[in-house]
Amino acid sequence: MIRPKTIGRDRFEAFCFEHGFQVIVSKNYRRTTNSLGVTRFPNLVTGLKISRPNQVWVSDITYFELAGKWCYLTFIIDIYARTIIGFTASRELCAEQTSLPALKMAIRFRKSSYHKVTGVIFHSDGGGQYHSKEFLKLTRMNYIKNSLRMTFTRIRSLKESTVL
């Protein structure tokens, strides 16, 4: 019996790209934010060697449907420690219920374990929740530097622009 070899999404995409195939991405995702017109932060982690806790925190918001309503989960992870240091679950996608309480939890957790949060790089996808006035005020007050990663759409457009 022939068994198919398992392959992940990224590897499959790379294989197709290398062999001249175009992968058509269906747009079955739900747009969760309108980030047009918001301040963009530089990507501070490209090429950075992560060597200690509280050097880089990364955050993202994911969503799922439960009983016909959307739920949003926000996580903040210390990259060096590979530990979730802040999280929230919410029924609404707004900074006051997602990124802000998760960041407050992360700051409290790290300060209570005698870690300094000054100078932490906070890396995210740049969604609107990470650009709210209250969120940016909290990062400034704690001397946390905001960083932005390229979105999948931006990476894809860069790949496609290199096709001859």
- Res 25: pLDDT: 55
In order, the DSSP letters of the chain are: ---PPP--HHHHHHHHHHTTPPPPPP--PPP----TTPPPPP---TTPPP-STTSEEEEEEEEEEETTEEEEEEEEEETTTTEEEEEEEESS-STTTTHHHHHHHHHHHHHHTT---TT-EEEE---GGGGSHHHHHHHHHTTPEEEEPPPHHHHHHHHHHT--
Residue 104 pLDDT greater than 70, yes or no: yes
How is residue 120 written in tokens? 């932490």
- Res 142: pLDDT: 93
Backbone angles phi and psi of 92, in degrees to 5 = -125, 145
**Amino acid at the residue 73:** L
pTM for the model: 0.68
Which CATH superfamily groups domain 28-164? Ribonuclease H-like superfamily/Ribonuclease H (3.30.420.10)
The better pLDDT of the pair 68, 123 is held by 123
C-alpha 20: how far from chain center? 30
Query: Are the CB atoms for 107 and 142 separated by under 8 Å?
Result: yes
Confidence at 146, pLDDT banded by 50, 70, 90 = very high
CA dist 18 and 144 (Å) reads 40
pLDDT digits (tens, 9 = 90+) for 82-102: 999 999 999 999 999 999 999
- Res 21: pLDDT: 67
Query: Are the CB atoms for 110 and 85 separated by under 8 Å?
Result: yes
Lowest mean pLDDT among 14-23, 64-73, 90-99: 14-23
The better pLDDT of the pair 158, 135 is held by 135
Where do the domains of the chain lie?
Answer: 28-164
Residue 18 pLDDT greater than 50, yes or no: yes
CA dist 84 and 99 (Å) reads 14
The share of the chain scoring above pLDDT 90, in percent, equals 43
- Res 117: pLDDT: 86
